[in-house]
Amino acid sequence: MDLKYNFKPKSKWREKLGEKFIAVNAFAALIGIALIFIFIFKESIPIFTDATVHEEVTIEKMIKPQVWKEGQEARYSWQPNSTVPKYSLVPLFVGTLKAALIAMLFAVPLGVGAAIYSSEFASKRLREVIKPVIELLAGIPSVVLGFFALIVLATILQDSFGLTYRLNALNAGIALGLAIVPIIFTVAEDAMNSVPGSLRDAARALGANPWQVSFTMVLPAAMPGIAAGIVLGFGRAIGETMIVLMASGNAAILSGSFTESIRTLSATIAAELAEVVFGSPHYNVLFLIGTLLFVFTFLVNLGGDIVLNRLKARFQGRTR
C-alpha cells in the first residue's frame, strides 16, 4: 500500500485564525441556546410575579388537585379555555411519561436486539443491508409516522385488543417507539462495533461460543454506548410532538391505564400556542411548559452523561 502522509507546515496566523473561527462558532451556538432558553423562560416569568396572572393561575393550582365545583372532589384538570380556566399540569406530565415509557419498552429491546444481531451475528453482506435500512427509518418524518399510527396502527390495536379508545397511550407510544428505534440502534451498533476485535478473538481462544462472546463480553464492554443511545432515545420520546399530537387522542385524563387517551406536554404546546391570545396567562403557562420540557430533557441528558462516565470508568477498570 502506498500511503502518503503529507503534513504541510502551516503558517502560524492561519492556524490562529482557524482556531478563533472554531471558537467563535462554538460560542455562537452556546449563546444561541442560552438566548432561546432565556426567551422561553422570560415569557413564563409572569406566572411567578404578576398579580393579575395569579387571579387565574398559580403554581399551586398547576400542581395540587383543586375543587372546581361545590361538592365535587378535588381533581387535576387541564381546561385552559373554560369559563374558570384550569391549568393542572399533572395529567400532562403523566401522559408524557406514559407515552415515553411505552416507547422505551417497545424500542429498547428492538433497537438493542437489532444492534446485537447486526454487529455480532449477521454476515457482512447482510449487515450492509440492515444498517442503512434501519438508519433510513430515522429519516421518516414524524408526521408520516403519526399519520400511520392514526390511520393504520390504531385500527389494528383496537381490533386485536378490543379497545374502547382508538387513540390511546399504547398507540402513541408504539409509534413513538418506531421513531426512536433507529436512534438506539445506531448508537448501540456503533458502540458494539468499536469493541476491539482482539477482545473477541481472545474470548474465542478461551473457548467461548458466539453467544457467550456477545452477551458476556461485547455487551458489557459496549454498555456505556448502549446506555447513551437509550438516554438519547428517551429524550426524544419526551420531546417528540407530531406523533403524539396525532396518535394520542389528546384527552387530559389522569389514570394508570395505557389504553385510554393521553395528552402530552409537547402536544399541548403545539395544539394551543398557535391560537392563544398573546401575553395572556394561558400563553405564559404554555411557555412554562416549554421551560419544563427544556429543563427535563437537560436533566435526562445530564443524568445520562453521569451514568455513562461511571460505566466507562467501571468497564475500563479505572478507579478513582
Partner 1 sequence: MRRLIVAALAAATVAVPALAGNITIKGSDTMVRLGQRLAEEYMKKFPKSVIQVSGGGSGTGIAALLNNSTDICMASRDMKPAEYSLAKSKGIDVKRYSICLDGIAIFLHNSNPVNELTLAQLKAVYTGEVTNWKNLGGKDAPIVLYGRENNSGTYVYFREHVLKDEDYSERCQTLPGTASVVNAITKDPNGIGYGGIAWATTVKHAGVKINDTTAAVQPESEAVSNGSYPISRELYFFTRGVPTGETKDFINWALSPEGQKVAELVDYIPLHAEAAAANMIK
- Interaction mask 239-268, partner 1, x per CB under 8 A: ------xx--xxxxxx-----xx-x-----
**Residue 301 near partner 1 by CB under 8 A:** no
Q: And the C-alpha cell for 221?
A: 464492554
Answer yes or no: are the C-beta atoms of 248 and 95 closer than 8 Å.
yes
**Residue 182 near partner 1 by CB under 8 A:** no
Count of residues touching partner 1 (by CB under 8 A): 39
Q: And the C-alpha cell for 246?
A: 396525532
- In angstroms, what is the minimal distance from the CB of 261 to partner 1? 5
Taking alpha carbons only, the member of 293, 288, 184, 282 closest to residue 240 is 293
User: In angstroms, rounded to a whole number, what is the distance separating the alpha carbons of residues 66 and 60?
Assistant: 9
Between 212 and 259, whose beta carbon lies closer to partner 1? Answer: 259
Residues in CB range of 218: below 8 A, 6 or more apart? 119, 120, 192, 195, 199, 200
**Residue 269 near partner 1 by CB under 8 A:** no
Between 68 and 294, whose beta carbon lies closer to partner 1? Answer: 68
Q: How remote is the C-alpha of 238 from its chain's centroid?
A: 5
Q: Which residues in the 38-97 window bind partner 1 by CB under 8 A?
A: 77-83, 86, 91
Between 165 and 185, whose beta carbon lies closer to partner 1? Answer: 165
- Interaction mask 146-175, partner 1, x per CB under 8 A: -x--xx--xx--------xxxx--------
Q: Which residues in the 90-149 window bind partner 1 by CB under 8 A?
A: 91, 143, 147
- In angstroms, what is the minimal distance from the CB of 36 to partner 1? 21
Between 99 and 245, whose beta carbon lies closer to partner 1? Answer: 245
**What is the chain's length?**
320
Answer yes or no: are the C-beta atoms of 209 and 255 closer than 8 Å.
no
- In angstroms, what is the minimal distance from the CB of 58 to partner 1? 20
Between 176 and 246, whose beta carbon lies closer to partner 1? Answer: 246
Taking alpha carbons only, the member of 165, 153, 155 closest to residue 262 is 165
Q: What is the DSSP letter of 222?
A: T
Answer yes or no: are the C-beta atoms of 255 and 214 closer than 8 Å.
no
Taking alpha carbons only, the member of 234, 239, 265 closest to residue 250 is 265
Residues in the site for partner 1, rule: CB under 8 A? 77-83, 86, 91, 143, 147, 150-151, 154-155, 164-167, 245-246, 249-254, 260-261, 263, 271-272, 274-280
